[in-house]
Amino acid sequence: MKLWILIPSLLISCSEYNFGTDPIKNMGVDESDTSEEILVDTATADTADTDSAEESIIETGGSNTEPSTEPVEEGGLNEPELETDVGYDPNAGLTSNLGNVVTILMALSDQWIPEETARQLLINSVEYSTEIAQPNVLVIRDDNTNGEDEDDPLNMTTWLQEAGYVVTFMQEPTNGIAPSDLAGYHVAIFSNPGYPPDDDATIDALYSFSSQGYGVIIQGDDMTRTSNPNMEAMTRLVGVDNGGSYYGINIDNNAGDAYSVRLVPYNVLNTDISLVNFPYGNDIDSTTLASSGIYVAAWATVDGSGHPEKPVITAYSPSQEVFQ
């Protein structure tokens, strides 16, 4: 993973993240996907020239796309002089174009997901999010779980520890975490399995952490349901609704219909996962892609239907590398 400094001041308005300038990231070929190309319009509201790269086509299948080697942001990026092996320093004052971010819009301990699939997906996500061989990982359980699947972040902590990682579990304070709580870590996992995050302080702290190039994993089926622009900046996903109803079909709390989740094969997030299709009976946020620089590693739609798929696991990286 490359670390960068963005020389101009880092703005926090969603319209100013240069979403439309990020390159298309290719993490592998989805040979099983026969769906049509999805057109993502990244034009700004006051720009009508569609011949100057306001529109980007994200293909859910087909041949590999080589990304540009040009800088992501206007003005260029420089590599920060940062000793990444010592972990995050909230006082360093260094910023980049964000670190690698994985978003998983499901409860990994849900009864529908085989544990071996959930374990490997989590391990792959940590490996993707950092280049540190033995990273320090912090798992944060949102305090707004309302008792739903509260063991999910605890299970993730155990799975990673059993895989040999140094992992710390943290219960989010009532008013959220501070940047100092992230000091010394390389990867932060923020988990609320079934409810929206409720503390802007935590989202802002994670954004600062990511802005030094460190890895962030956002996990839970309502995690895009926040008005904080820093969540969209990290996930590159725009929340539409909580997905309890999709094309008029109710899917929630493991009662009634279910989603069908399809993991895209041959990419870094799904390495060593044998089961690539499974049902999921809880709600999954409906979202749209806010950027062309985001890869969808898993899609979901109503089980047994022909309705369009929506993103359920995504990966974003500011680097110019092809992920395979």
Looking at per-residue pLDDT, the higher value among 146 and 53 belongs to 146
Average pLDDT over residues 153-168: 97
Q: Give the pLDDT score at 30.
A: 53
pLDDT attached to residue 58:
33
121: which DSSP letter? H
Three-state SS for 167? strand
Residue 26 has pLDDT above 60, yes or no: no
Q: How far apart are CA 229 and CA 321, in angstroms?
A: 26
**DSSP class per residue in 96-116:** -S---EEEE-S-TT-TTS-HH
Do 184 and 137 touch, CB atoms closer than 8 A? no
Residue 240 has pLDDT above 90, yes or no: yes
Buried b / exposed e over 232-263, threshold 16 CB at 10 Å, is: bbbbbbebeebbbebeebebbeeeebbbbbbb
Domain definitions of the chain by residue range: 5-45+53-316
The span from the CA of 141 to the CA of 144, in Å, is 9
pLDDT at residue 54 tops 70? no
| 3-state secondary structure at position 165 | coil
Q: What is the mean pLDDT of residues 16-26?
A: 36
Task: Name the pLDDT band for 84 (thresholds 50, 70, 90).
Answer: low
Query: Is the pLDDT reported for residue 320 higher than 70?
Result: no
Write the CB contacts of 201 (distance below 8 Å, at least 6 apart in sequence).
175, 176, 177, 178
Q: Tell me what percent of the residues of the chain surpass a pLDDT of 70.
A: 73
Q: Give pLDDT, residue 295.
A: 93
Q: Comparing 294 with 78, which gets the higher pLDDT?
A: 294
pLDDT in tens, 265-292: 888 999 999 888 999 999 999 999 998 7
Q: How far apart are CA 302 and CA 306, in angstroms?
A: 8
User: Both tokens of residue 318?
Assistant: 């500011």
In DSSP notation, 129-164 reads H---SS-EEEEEE-TT-TTSSTHHHHHHHHHHHHTT
pLDDT of residue 174 exceeding 60, the answer is yes
| pLDDT band at 137; cut points 50, 70, 90 | very high
Average pLDDT over residues 122-136: 95
| Residues 40, 16: Cα–Cα separation, whole Å | 17
Mean pLDDT over 220-235 rounds to 93
Out of 59-63, 169-173, 199-203, 318-322, pick the least confident: 59-63
DSSP letters for 186-201:
SEEEEE-SSS----HH
* CATH match of 5-45+53-316 with 3.40.50: yes
Mean pLDDT computed over every residue of the chain: 77
243 touches 284 (CB < 8 A): yes
Mean pLDDT of 56-84: 35
List phi, psi (to 5°) of 237: -120, 140
Say whether pLDDT at 7 is over 50: no
The string of DSSP codes covering 72-98 is SSTT-EE-----GGG---TTS----S-
Taking residues 79-106, report their average pLDDT: 80
pLDDT bracket for residue 57 (50, 70, 90)? very low
DSSP for residue 51: T
